[in-house]
Amino acid sequence: MMREPELSVFEMASRIRGLQGVELQVRWKSYNLWDKSTLLATKREAFRWGIQIPSLAGIWGPGASLMTNPEESLRRSIAAAELLGASVVLVAAFRERCPNVTEESSYGPVVRSLQKVAPAAADAGVVLGLETSLSPVDHRKLAEMVNHPAVQVYYDLHNMEFYQHQGQAVPGVAAIGRQQICQVHLKNEKKLLAEAGSVDWTAAVRALRAIQYDGWYVFETAHTGVEQCIETTEKNIEFVRRVHTSSH
């Protein structure tokens, strides 16, 4: 069973004005949503505090990655997402664990694995969101090679800059397009989204508005404590709402 400190994320989330959901890690230290009792306890706690679970991340089991034996981790995470009502499973693949879309020997097995599990994801009402160290154009290319609506792009603009695709983060929104972006991560290192950083978040939110993105905005930010988390998250929510509304 989950310990109370691990469940308290939902209670804390309920205190944040404007926050509607929490993205959960499937596997984190001893916490594992593949365990049925943990999964059910999580579902009960989310319901208790009125917090949605839009997506799951941290899906890889021991020795697994998108490049190495991905199917079991994907299928088990899809099943967990279905029970929790999550609509997206984040499929992370960075650096050496990310396929090269110019080499069939690299991307071919990945595409075939995703094509095998995509029907199960669709049956569960789940989209597999690819978050990789590829450029925006190559992100889209990988998703299009799979050619299934249950495999799309989980777009992290900050990662575009972090993985040396300088200047491509905001233009990448249009390059990938609404049909391929299933969800979006927002982060600005240790600063608020309104502050200057590697990504112009005002331009980013406007670009997402321009393609009529209407999915979840998921804050992926570090915090020093509960009160600081509540304060900064509320400020970031207000920033996104203000920019999104002004873009009409």
Spatial separation of the C-alpha atoms in residues 8 and 49, rounded to whole Å: 10
Tokens 């969800």 — which residue? Answer: 183
Q: Render pLDDT for 76-88 as a digit per residue (tens, 0 to 9).
A: 999 999 999 999 9
The one-letter amino acid code at 4 reads: E
Could you give all domains of the chain from N- to C-terminal order, each with its CATH number? 4-184 (3.20.20.150)
Q: Render pLDDT for 178-196 as a digit per residue (tens, 0 to 9).
A: 999 999 999 998 999 999 9
Per-residue pLDDT, 245: 87
> Distances in Å between the alpha carbon of 214 and those of 178, 181, 183, 192, 205?
9, 10, 9, 22, 11
Per-residue pLDDT, 6: 45
Rg (CA), the chain: 18
Q: What is the pTM of this model?
A: 0.94
Torsion (CA) 149, 56, 72, 176 in degrees, nearest 10:
30
Q: Render pLDDT for 13-50 as a digit per residue (tens, 0 to 9).
A: 999 999 999 999 999 888 999 999 999 999 999 999 99
Q: Which positions of the chain have pLDDT values less than 50? A: 1-7
Per-residue pLDDT, 7: 41
Per-residue pLDDT, 247: 67
